[in-house]
Each structure stands twice: as C-alpha cells, then as structure tokens.
Amino acid sequence: MALIACRNCGHQISDKATVCPKCGTPTKEEPEKEYVRQQDSKANEEVMYLTAVSCLNEGRLEEARDYVVGLLAQKPGEPRYAELQEQLNEALTRQEEELAEMARRRSRNIWIAASIALLLLLAGGGYWYYERSQLQNEQELWNQIQETDEQALLENYLQRYPDGEHRAQAEERLSYVRQQASEWQKIAELGNADELEKFFKKYETGRYHDLAVAAYDDLLWNEATKMETLEGYTHYMQCCPQGSHYAEAKELAGRLEKIQMSDDEAATMSSTVQQFFYAMARGDEDEMLALVAPQLDSFLGKNEATKVDVMAYMRRVHADDVFSVDLTMGDVEVTKSVDKDDEPVYSATFSFDQRISREDTSLETFASYKGTARLSGQGKITSLSLNKTAHY
C-alpha cells in the first residue's frame, strides 16, 4: 500500500481509499468527468491550430510562431503541425527578404533624396552666385558710367539691367545728357564766345563742358593772335586762366609789355631824330656827335660806322659853295622792341625836306628824304638810312 495526497486538502491517505477520510473528496475522478476533460483539451488544441493558421494568413507571423511552438510541444509528430511549421518558415523567409528589399529601397531612396538635395543645393548656390555676380557686375558698370556723357553707355546699361538698382538714376542721367547734347549742337554752330561761356558755366562738368571750354579757348586765342596786342593777350589770359595757349599768351604778352612805349619815350626818341637833322642843317658838329652812339651798326649804307663818318656826311651837305641849309621835318613815328638781351631798342621812321642856298644854283637846291633810324635805350642813334624821294 502506498500513500497519496488528497487532491483537495493534501492529507496523506492510502491509494486504496476511495475518499479522503478527512474532507471526503474522492481520490479518483469519475470516468465521465475525465472524458469531458479530454474533450476540452482537444477543443483547445483545435482552437490553437485555427488561430495559428489565421495569424499566418494575416501576416502576424510572431503570433503564429507562438501557437505553432505550443502545438508542436503538445504533439511533435503531428503532420499538420509540421506542415504549418514549414509554411511559417517560408513566410518568415519571405518577410525577411521583403524587409531586406525595403531596406535596400529605403537606402536607395535616401541616396536619391540626398543627391536631389545636393543638386538643389548646388543649383541654389549657383543661382545665388549668379545673382551676386550680376549685382556686382551691375554695380561695377554703374560706378564707371554714372558721370558719363556718352548716351550709348547709359543706354547699354539700361538695356542690360532694365530692372537694375540704379535704373532711375541712369534714366535721369540719360535725360540730362540728351539735353546737353541738344543745346551743345546749337551753341557749337553759333561759334559765339558769350554763348559758349554761358554753356560751360551752366554745365560745369562732362564731355560737353570740356568741348565748350576748348571751343571758347580757341575762339579767344584766334582773336588775340589777330590783334597781336598786349590788350588782346591779356584779355585771353584773364578769360582762359587754364587755357591751352596760356603759356604762349603769357610769353607774347611779356614781350609786348617790354616794348610798350610811353608817350615820354616816344617824344624823346622823336626829338632825338629831329635834333640830329636840325643840328646837321645848322652845321652844329658837337650836337650831332652827342646824338649818335660812339660805334654805329650802320650809317648811310656803311656798316660799323663811327662818328667820323657822321661828320663826313655833314661836311658833304655843307659844301664850300653852300650858304645855308633849311630843313623841315615831317612826322616821326617811333616803335619799340627789345634785343636778344632784352634791352629796349627804338625804331623811327621819318621824312624831311631840305633846301640848300648855294652859289651854284645849277646844282641841287632841294631834296625830299624818307629815312629810318635805330636808337638805343639811352636815346643814341645806332644806325641811319636815307632814301631820296625827290630833288631838283
């Protein structure tokens, strides 16, 4: 006999006993109840199988695997459970392949997306660089032409950059230049100094300003050179202090200023010439010699003459048969210049009539002369020439 534990209270009882003497629980289940238990177990197993199939068909492979593992644990050799296991394995394999393919596609899509993003970035960067370059090029061009008077340059800018940052300024500048060009065309045709001056004072800068200044400069210079006077050159220098001929005008004006002759100077030189011939007519040797230089450049055709030659001339006039010489001087015109050493030199042109009272009336008793004389700054005659224009 062996002892067993009561199913209900755990009391040790004999395995031959039919009930527990302590709690009265039967030691064995009744046959009908055992049958029911076995039927319930089969029903549960079938439910697990059907559930596993449903999970497999719906793609819930992890749940299906749990049911298959349970079924095989209960009946390892059951064919349909083994077939279900193969189907599950195939499904798992397909799932792994699909996941791998999805991973590859996802990787490829990521690469494509990254490439597209890079291309967009490069395109955006290129566009940004292009726009920046365009703005920089526009600014550089505008810096070069913003003060230009060339219509073509301004028109080119507006054509290249119709919506440029400086469009309004370019249009305003172009209108201003066109107005200048129109006015300049009219002024240039007139060739009037006053109108030219008004124009370049109105438009103080630019190509047309420079053209007007140059035309004004040339016009006044031509007038000054025609006049060839100190006043003319001085007027040019006052009106064109930056003129292209200013240096030449200054030099010429300086020369003319040096040869400007006062009334006193002209009177002194004229008087010297007249006194010389009156002294000659009187036969006043001392006065004649006092009015000539010690060494003359020329005297009546003789170069490097001396006072001796002057006295010889006077003695020829006062020949032995001459009683007297009556002389009438005409006007004496005096001009002034300078020599190579910038010393003043005077030139005199004159005329006189000479009447000679003489013993032999068959000889010449009347003559008209024209002559030229040069005088030094000290008022001394340095050269003398005479031309007889009439006589009898």
Can you list the residues of the chain whose pLDDT is less than 50? 22, 31-32, 34-36
Tell me the one-letter amino acid at 57. Answer: N
Residue 28, helix vs strand vs coil? coil
Which two structure tokens, joined as six digits, stand for 330?
């005409």
Amino acid 17: pLDDT: 58
CA 153/CA 146 separation, integer angstroms: 10
Whole-prediction pTM: 0.47
Residue 36: the pLDDT is 47
Two tokens at 376?
A: 């030094």
Structure tokens at 142: 């505008």
Q: Give me the long-range contacts of 15-19 (CB less than 8 A, separation at least 24).
A: none
Contact indicator for 305, 293 with CB cutoff of 8 Å:
no
Q: Return the SS3 of 251.
A: helix
Report the amino acid identity of residue 67: Y
| Contacts (Cβ under 8 Å, ≥6 apart) of 219 | 191, 193, 196
Query: Which amino acid type is present at position 239?
Result: C
The pairing of strands 295-299 and 3-5 is: unpaired
Q: Are 1 and 17 in contact (CB under 8 A)?
A: no
CA distances from 125 to 31, 139, 161, 172 (A): 89, 21, 22, 35
Rounded to whole angstroms, how far apart are CA atoms 174 and 145? 11
CB 367 within 8 A of CB 358: no
Model pLDDT, residue 127: 66
What is the pLDDT, as a whole number, of residue 130?
64
pLDDT digit string, tens, across residues 259-315: 889 999 999 999 999 999 999 999 999 999 999 999 999 999 999 999 999 999 999
CB 270 within 8 A of CB 332: yes
How far apart (Å, rounded) are the C-alpha atoms in residues 291 and 369? 20
Cα torsion at 17, 19, 20, 24 (round to 10°)?
Answer: -160
pLDDT single digits (tens) 5-26:
777 766 576 666 565 654 556 6
- Residue 321 CB-half CA count within 13 A: 8
- Short-list 36, 4, 39, CA closest to 21: 4
- For residue 335, what are the β-bridge partners? 347
